[in-house]
A and B are shown apart, each in its own frame.
Chain A
Amino acid sequence: MAGQLRGAARILSSWRSYCSKGQQEKVSADFVEALKAVVGEPNVSTAGVVLEQHGHDESMHRCSPPDAVVWPQNVEQVSRLAALCYDHRIPIIPFGTGTGLEGGVNAIKGGICFNLTRMDRILDLSVDDFSVTVEPGVTRKALNSYLRDTGLWFPVDPGADASLCGMAATGASGTNAVRYGTMLENVVNLEVVLADGQILHTSGQGRRFQKSSAGYNLTGLFVGSEGTLGLITTATLRLHGIPEATTAVVCAFPSLQAAVDSTVQIIQSGLPVARIEFLDDVMIDACNKYSGLTNAVTPTLFLEFHGSQKLLEEQVQRAEQIVRQNGSSHFAWSKDPEERSRLWTARHNAWYAALALRPGCKGYSTDVCVPISRLPEIMVQAKKDLKAFGLTGALVGHVGDGNFHCILVFNSEDADEYRRVMEFVEQLGRNALATNGTCTGEHGIGLGKRQLLKEEIGPVGIEIMRQIKSVLDPKNLMNPGKVL
Chain B
Amino acid sequence: MAELRALVGVKRVIDYAVKIRVKPDKTGVVTDGVKHSMNPFCEIAVEEAVRLKEKKLVKEVIAVSCGPKQCQETLRTALAMGADRGIHVEVPESEAERLGPLQVSRVLTALAQKEKAGLVLLGKQAIDDDCNQTGQMTAAMLDWPQGTFASKLTLEGDKVTVEREIDGGLETIRLKLPAVVTADLRLNEPRYATLPNIMDYEAARALGGHESQPPSSPVCGPPAFACSSLPLYLQLVPIGTRTCFLSSSNHESQKEED
Contacts and interface: CB of A to CB of B under 8 A. Distances in A.
A151 interface: yes
B195 A337 contact: no
Interface stretch (A240-248, A377-385, A432-440): A240-248
Interface stretch (A49-57, A141-149, A183-191, A321-329): A141-149
A243 B197 CA distance: 11
Interface residues of B, number: 19
Interface string A136-156: 000000100110111111000
Contacts of A25: none
Nearest to A240: B195
Given A337-B189, A338-B188, A341-B189, A242 B17 contact: no
Contact of B193 (A145, A242, A341): A242
A174 to B, nearest CB: 18
Contacts of A337: 188-189, 191
A420 B109 CA distance: 72
A14 B38 CA distance: 57
Contacts of B35: 146
A149 B38 contact: yes
Interface string B175-199: 0000000000000110111111111
B37 interface: yes
Contacts of A146: 15, 17, 35
A244 B228 CA distance: 12
Interface in B6-33: 15, 17
A148 B43 CA distance: 11
A142 B35 CA distance: 13
B236 interface: no
A210 B189 CA distance: 33
Contacts of A241: 194-195
B77 A149 contact: yes
Nearest to B78: A149
Interface residues of A, number: 17
Nearest to A141: B17
A241 B195 CA distance: 6
A423 to B, nearest CB: 45
B80 interface: yes
Contacts of A142: 17
A145 B35 CA distance: 12
A244 B196 contact: yes
A151 B35 CA distance: 16
Contacts of A152: 195
Nearest to A152: B195
Contact of B17 (A145, A149, A153, A244): A145
A202 to B, nearest CB: 28
Nearest to B15: A146
Given A142-B17, A338-B188, A148 B194 contact: no
Contact of A151 (B17, B73, B195): B195
B188 A242 contact: no
Contacts of B38: 149
Contact of A242 (B77, B195, B199): B195
B197 to A, nearest CB: 7
Nearest to B47: A337
A148 B192 contact: yes
Contacts of A242: 192-195
Contact of B198 (A151, A153, A338): A151
Interface in A146-188: 146, 148-153
Contacts of A150: 193, 198
A243 B193 CA distance: 9
Given A149-B192, A150-B198, 19 more contacts: A142-B17, A146-B17, A146-B35, A148-B37, A149-B193, A151-B193, A151-B194, A151-B199, A152-B195, A241-B194, A242-B192, A242-B193, A242-B194, A244-B194, A244-B196, A308-B196, A337-B189, A337-B191, A338-B188
The 10 closest A-B pairs by CB, nearest first: A151-B195, A241-B195, A149-B77, A151-B198, A337-B189, A242-B192, A244-B194, A242-B194, A148-B192, A151-B193
16 contacts: A142-B17, A146-B15, A146-B35, A149-B37, A149-B73, A149-B80, A149-B192, A151-B80, A151-B192, A151-B199, A152-B195, A241-B194, A242-B195, A244-B194, A244-B196, A308-B196
Interface of B: 15, 17, 35, 37-38, 73, 77, 80, 188-189, 191-199
